[in-house]
Amino acid sequence: MPHSVSPTGAAQTDDEMPDAPPAETSTGNSGVKLADMFDDDDDDEFPASSAPDVNMKEEPAPAPSGVDQDIMLAFYQRLFPFRYLFQWLNHGIVPTKDFGNREFALTLQNDAYLRYQSYPTADLFRKDILRMNPSRFEIGPVYSTNPRDRKTLRGGQMKPVSKELVFDIDLTDYDDIRTCCVKANICAKCWSFVTMAIKVIDTALREDFGFEHILWVYSGRRGAHAWVCDPRARNLPDDRRRAIAGYLEILRGGSQSGKKVNVKRPLHPHIVRSLELLKHDFARTTLGDQDTFESAEQAERLLALLPDKNLNESLRKKWDSSPGRASTSKWADIDSLAKTGKSSTLNPATLRDAKQDIVLEYTYPRLDAEVSKKMIHLLKSPFVIHPGTGRICVPIDPHKAEEFDPLSVPTVMNLLAEIDEYDAKHPAGTAEADVAEVEGSAMNGSDTKGSRKLQDYEKTSLKPYIEFFRSFIAGLVKEERAGKRERDESGPGIKADPMEF
């Protein structure tokens, strides 16, 4: 088993892309593109029954990103933060039911889909993942009993008892308002929609609902997931989850329903605050970067959202006479023409409301609400590799959401190359690290006090992400411990963190 892959090797596999998926040429635009099969929106509760089945027939070869089984295994062996993932889901160091009864669902290399996997400890978890070498895995709820025992139980005995409250934002939902890319593609321009969504949702969850432990994770291609980990959020029953989803959902209706935003006046404080957050983004992104209303078709859509016929007439006349007029100017035209008082029927308040609605329609987060409503919904784990892009699903710091650039997120090939590079420069460290790894998860805390052995991830650009994750877990575990202290007086003993590496 090669434990890493040379940079050249990675590049080669990258180049193989064109001939890899036969589906793309054969099915044409029927939408069964390989990239879509591996997509990162997990809105299907039982993905095994749908997409992967189709996929299995046509694509046993490596995915377009060049992530093959060896690379995947090397990643799990050397880089994947099993221990932190364990601590995150376990809410502490000593293995509990929070982790032991948690469902994992593995997508294997042959695209078989294994549900109801569970692991009592971090070590067994790691061992099994290495053995199965899944192309990705998802996290489900904590059940009332061990999910592996489900078949020995009578029907209805195994009930989901808790799971993080999750949110899913996917740029494909923005296709009708982004002009730069479509489908699975993204660029820095349209990523700003996700940034906006993170800001708005994060603020609402913290200020309105009082949640504190919200982990945002890049989904690997064109979206982001939020995991709300507060105990109060984890234990919410489905109807309360639905309530939150409803509270946050402002855009309603499908492609044919016309105006998507219909909010009551006066505006709810949550909407007022969101508008405040989004105002500038609207000017910068929708009017500037995207130049959304530049095309005649989109301009017509804009007009459809405005309330006054006479005003629309004059706007249409003006815009028809100067084709290609920039969105910023068009947006400004609305007010300037309204001010001329040409339209006698125009009500300034209605126009203001309509403009607010438009800002919301073009910037307010578009959530895949179904994901949030059900406790049993599975969502892809943080830090797994997106098979389509090879990028790691790294956490996003919501306070620095603007700085996050999805295109510079490390890919697994980069990372493995970085290890090699580092090891080449520091030959002494290599052997040691290898020993530690070969021995699996044996802890090496005591004997390395003086010169602590470097973990492989610390040699790479994954380091800041894992450290962010670690500090997130620390905050979560601290609160959890404070809550348990009354019952559990042995608390201080735990402080010497045996899992620290």
Partner 1 sequence: MIRQDAHRIDPKRRAVIDHKKRQFAVPIYKQQEYPHRLNFYETPPTAEITLEQFEQWAIDRLKILAEIEACSYRNKSPAETATYITPLLQKFLPLSSNTSSSNGANDSRLKNERQKDHYSHFILRLAFSATEDLRRRFARAETMLFRFRFQNDDSREKRAFIDSLSLDWEPVSDFERTEVAESLASSTPGLRRVDEETWYKVDWEKVPELIEKRSVYLKKGKAYVPGREQLSMIMAEFTARLERALELTSRALPRLDEDDRLTPILNHLSKNFGSAESVYSEGEGYVDGAPITASSIDQLAQQHFPLCMKSLHGNLRKNNHLKHFGRLQYTLFLKGIGLSLEECILFWRQSFKGKTDDEFNSQYKYNIRHAYGEVGGDVNRRGKGYTPYSCQKILGDSNPGIGQTHGCPYRHFSVDNLVGFLQATGVNDKETLRGVREDVGKQRYHIACNRVFESTHKNEIKKVKEDGTWSQTDLDTIVHPNTYFKRSFLLKQMARAPKDS
Q: Which residues are catalytic?
A: 103, 168, 170
The residue among 168 and 230 lying less far from partner 1, judged by its C-beta, is 230
- Closest CB to partner 1 among residues 354, 369: 369
Q: What is the DSSP letter of 347?
A: -
User: Least distance in Å: CB of 209 to partner 1?
Assistant: 5
168: left (phi over 0), alpha (psi -120 to 50) or beta: beta
Phi, psi angle pair for 469, to nearest 5°: -60, -40
Q: Cα separation of 254 and 407, whole Å?
A: 30
- Nearest alpha carbon to residue 289 among 362, 185, 200: 362
User: Quick one: 137 or 167, whose CB is closer to partner 1?
Assistant: 167
Nearest distance in Å: CB 397, partner 1: 22
Q: Compare residues 151 and 264 and give the one whose CB is closer to partner 1.
A: 264
Tell me the torsion sign for CA atoms 40, 46, 48, 50. Answer: negative
Copy the structure tokens of residue 163: 């799971």
Could you write out the three-class secondary structure of 282-319? HHHHHHHHCCHHHCHHHHHHHHHCCCCHHHHHHHHHHH
Judge whether 411 and 435 are in contact, CB under 8 Å: no
CB of 158 to partner 1, least distance (A): 19
- The Cα–Cα gap between 181 and 345 comes to 39
* Cβ 205 to partner 1 shortest distance, Å: 10
Helix axes 327-339, 348-363, angle to 10 degrees: 170
Nearest distance in Å: CB 125, partner 1: 32
33: helix, strand or coil: coil
Q: Which is nearer to partner 1, 93 or 271 (CB)?
A: 271
Would you say 239 or 447 has its CB closer to partner 1? 239
Q: Which residues bind partner 1 (CB under 8 A)?
A: 207-211, 232, 236, 239-240, 242-244, 246-247, 264, 266-272
Burial class (CB in 10 A: 0-12, 13-18, 19+), 220: buried
Q: Which residues face 218 on adjacent strands? A: 224
Residue 492, exposed/middle/buried by CB under 10 A (0-12, 13-18, 19+)?
A: exposed
Task: For partner 1, give the closer residue by CB, 239 or 489.
Answer: 239
Query: Can you tell me the distance from the alpha carbon of 117 to that of 250, in angstroms, rounded to the nearest whole number?
Result: 36
Tell the smallest beta-carbon distance from residue 203 to partner 1 (Å): 12
CA distance 314 to 481: 65
CB of 225 to partner 1, least distance (A): 22
d(CA 96, CA 120) in angstroms, rounded, equals 8
